Chain A
Amino acid sequence: MNMAVPAADPGCARLLAGLLEQRTGQRIAPNRSWRLDTALKPLLAGLSIDDVAELARRLRAGRDEALADKVVDLLLNQETSFFRDAGVIESAVQAVAEPLAAGMPVHIWCAACATGQEALSLAMLFAERKAAENWPRMPEIVATDVSGAAIARARQGAYSQFEIQRGLPVRRMMQWFSPNADGLWAASRPLLNAVTYRRHNLVAEPPPAGRFDLILCRNVLFYLVPRLRGQVLERLAGALKPGGLLLLGAGETVIGLSDELRPSRRARGFYEASGHAPSAPGGAAEVASGAQSS
């Protein structure tokens, strides 16, 4: 097996980028096609395939769904960290603090959660506020991603030394994580239980059942092909409860993409439904507590 992977020729690159776009709506810009080789290197090594051209031949044969899944998983951008934009995570918690303090059910959807760090960051903050302020309940947090591999890792809740140190203050690490036998830092059971993970394709499937008080969909639109951005925003708008809030990534906006969302008047930096979004599939009934279990 060669250490260096030969660069994908334009035809292979188009096939692989097309597979990613077809399944996830995400695109790889032509000037970033070098990423194909780097990203696929572990898969090629694992399958003893010499180059991307051979991988492309196998994919063209078209009967190996598991292989296609693995390729897509590796090509997805899974960049994430604990407390990414910490102030934004805190403002998301604050945005639903009032109903939680009053004992009302609150439902949160972390869309495109990658390996779970964002959802766990929220869960840590909610658990700390619940303990400090005697809130009667935690919110229901459902976290989804298109990648089966990412969701499997998120469910494990075990992170490498590099992952655990990115954004996570050491005191929180000591409180919520402990080293395991595999040399990873494993989330405590109460923390893991605070989040329900499930595989979900944001561009091809209706939102998870029910309606949400808060949806986080950060740093996702940027990677989608432009024609899908508005469709995804409309789906998100339809999944919000009346008065529910949507949080996008820094630099992401609804302007020019959807008139079903507008900047929130009560929560700076958030969006809310403008009032004429269609109902989410499954009806407008609120999600019953515990109904999101996988």
Chain B
Amino acid sequence: MKTCLIVDDSKVIRKVARHILETLDFTVAEAADGREALEQCRLSTPDVVLLDWNMPVMSGMEFLRALGTETLSHRPKVVFCTTENGMAHIRAAIEAGADEYVMKPFDRETLHSKLQIVGVA
């Protein structure tokens, strides 16, 4: 089974995303901010990180930059999942190394499609 780390400060979003991902046969872990996510990646690197943009403690972009400096068993795919739906944010995320981008709100089809595009579903 593939593993996905959901990083979002909203419990509701984590719950919705977890439900969808489990129906897609993912093993799911959760983190409420970028720093917690980084610690989890050091312990067990997931296949893919579903990453919110705006979070307390450490934002999605800060996490993405920090991830690039880590020595991990492999580099997880990073899919932003955010309400920041403007082209400037999308461009910034891709230039910073994100693999895909999901604009909230999302549904099962959207998430499945993006996970297929990055090769984990």
Contacts and interface: CB of A to CB of B under 8 A. Distances in A.
Contact of A170 (B100, B105, B106, B107): B100
A170 B113 contact: no
A263 to B, nearest CB: 27
B113 A171 contact: no
A161 B109 contact: no
Nearest to B85: A161
Interface string B81-121: 00001110011001000001111011101100110010000
Contacts of B86: 179
Interface string A199-223: 0000000000000000000000000
Nearest to A164: B103
B91 to A, nearest CB: 6
A174 B100 CA distance: 11
B97 to A, nearest CB: 13
A179 B84 CA distance: 13
Interface string A157-174: 000011001110111011
Instruction: Select the residue from B90, B103, B110, B113 with max chain A CB neighbours within 10 A.
Output: B113
Interface string A162-195: 1001110111011000110000000000000000
B113 A162 contact: no
Nearest to B106: A165
9 contacts: A162-B110, A165-B103, A166-B109, A167-B113, A170-B101, A174-B91, A174-B94, A178-B87, A179-B87
